[in-house]
Amino acid sequence: MTNPTHFLEIDDVTRDELETILDRAAEYKRAQHEGEPHEDLEGQTLGMIFQKPSTRTRVSFETGMTQLGGHAVFLGEDDIQLGRGEPLKDTSRTLSRYVDVVMARVFKHENIEVLADYASVPIVNGLTDDAHPCQTLADLQTIREQEGGFEGVSAAWIGDGNNVAQSFTVGAAMTDIDLTVATPEGYGIDDEVVDRARELGGDPTITTDPVEAVTDADIIYTDVWISMGQEDERDVRMNDFEGFQVCSDLLEHAPEASIMHCLPAHRGEEITDDAIESDRSIVFDQAENRLHAQKALLSWLLE
């Protein structure tokens, strides 16, 4: 493959392609639940580069590739020559001679772009500091299951305007979800992300008022306030995010809303234990759908 399709941002696919991937994810989920084999990638190999640790990303990709009849190779930074200073472009070109697709979970978004620039196989963004498009695929699959589609759906993002929020904002625009993003002052999503969402036909509402955001929402979504690499900001962030916790008081303003969280959750910080354990929580459906959505993405990329 000399001109591979990469998946670095959620809008690297078109609306129609996104719909195709979500349809395939639903079919893979049905097949797995009914015990039907779906070894569509038999004999193919996924290389998985990890600079950041993970539970859901590693297990869902590795298990998914196995269920598709292929094989996954874990490549921790210190297990390969990246940890000894090999340039990313050399790693990319070398892996392209060995594997059929590469998933990378890295810090700097520019690193995933370098991998893609020098690869002759598809590169999948398993997470960067700027974006988490694979999570958005699972989020959209979960919302479609919960709401029966996207038409008329309203969602509220509460908390930090981080990588998950940024990808979800663009994904919401691609599916016509009416999104409100509520973050403390100084923690909002990037203006460039808002512009991309608007170019795609979305019109996200940006606010610093979590009550305004959740009122009458169908979906309430949150994530940790302190991501990997931000531990030294903990005291400041805990103070700045006061009032943004997804808790019973906030949920009173959206009595029918389903609750989402991409996990891992810091229970008692951005979300309370009773909220994540309530009947309104679809958090673990969302986590399961990482598996099905990523299988759909891999098979689509390797067609």
Extract the annotated binding site.
54-57, 81, 105, 132-135, 163, 223, 227-228, 262-263, 290
124 close to 297: Cβ distance less than 8 angstroms? yes
Residue bearing tokens 């005291």 = 235
The DSSP string of 17-66 is HHHHHHHHHHHHHHHHHTT----TTTT-EEEEEESS--SHHHHHHHHHHH
Q: Phi and psi dihedrals of 117, rounded to 5?
A: -60, -30
Given a contact cutoff of 8 angstroms between Cβ atoms, the answer to whether 126 and 298 are in contact is no
Is the four-CA dihedral 81, 86, 89, 94 of positive or negative sign? Answer: negative
Contact 115, 99 (CB under 8 A): no
CB 251 within 8 A of CB 220: yes
Helices and strands: H and E segment counts in the chain: 12, 9
In terms of Cβ atoms closer than 10 Å to its own Cβ (0-12, 13-18, 19+), residue 156 is buried
Binding residues for carbamoyl phosphate are 54-57, 81, 105, 132-135, 262-263, 290
Binding residues for L-ornithine: 163, 223, 227-228
Total number of residues shown for the chain:
303
Catalytic center residues: 105, 132, 135, 223, 262, 290
**Residue 213, Cα to own-chain centre: how many angstroms?**
21
